[in-house]
Amino acid sequence: MKGKEMKMRNTKTQAVQRIVLAGMVALVAALSLVLVSCGPIAEEAIRMAITEELDGIKAGTDEDFNAMVDSFMRNDELDQVGIGREEFYAVWMNGFDYAIDDIAVEGDKATASVTITHRSIDEATEIYTASVMDYMEENLDMLTDMTEEALDEYLESDEFMVILKGFFMDALRETPMSSASYTLEYTMNGRVWDPSTSSATKMFNTIFS
């Protein structure tokens, strides 16, 4: 059990790294579809681009973000314990929200301050880990009485996968909502306001943390 649980935890960083490489370009591009010049019109256009992207994430209709979620779940092995994306998303995104606090445009530069409220997968993983450790302690006699072959078979069994799934989904439900603020930096290229990859990536990475 410990090996299975640790394997799920150890893939977390690798999963996020792969997600960034696989899907971040499309998400950043979605924030840059702003074909206007400057001033109040630019502010409104930037606001609309951010709203459209985050509304799609909130509703679960953003295809690029959903593809990233699928990659995350595969790399973090959540699918192996029987957790589907819709089930995961419904709990993870329950309460997800955002606020565009301010947009400032100066010449060919602009900034957008955004506050994201979400459930931290890292915090859920900590709660999950504690639940697995408690299970180990409570069932230590049963587990230590098994032969190595029987233990390996049990740890790969559907019965144990159901237990792990329950622990993780309960942990996700118990994880409190937390908020963090980000500044998206924009530069006008021609007639398009492009967000800096670093500032957008930081925001999207945090949603997966």
The more confident residue out of 28 and 201 is 201
The predicted structure's pLDDT at residue 110: 93
DSSP 54-69: HHHHHHT--HHHHHHH
- Tally of domains in the chain: 1
pLDDT band at 130 (very low <50, low <70, confident <90, very high): very high
Q: Cα separation of 163 and 118, whole Å? A: 25
The predicted structure's pLDDT at residue 126: 94
Model-wide pTM > 0.95: no
Q: Cα separation of 114 and 135, whole Å? A: 40
Q: Cα separation of 174 and 119, whole Å? A: 9
Among candidate residues 181, 76, 165, 155, the one with its CA nearest the CA of residue 122:
76
What residues pair up with 201 in beta bridges, in sequence order?
none
pLDDT tens across 154-196, in order? 888 999 999 999 999 999 999 999 999 999 999 888 778 888 8
pLDDT band at 97 (very low <50, low <70, confident <90, very high): very high
Beta strands in the chain (DSSP E): 97-106, 109-119, 177-189, 192-195
Residue ranges making up the domain that contains 16: 2-207
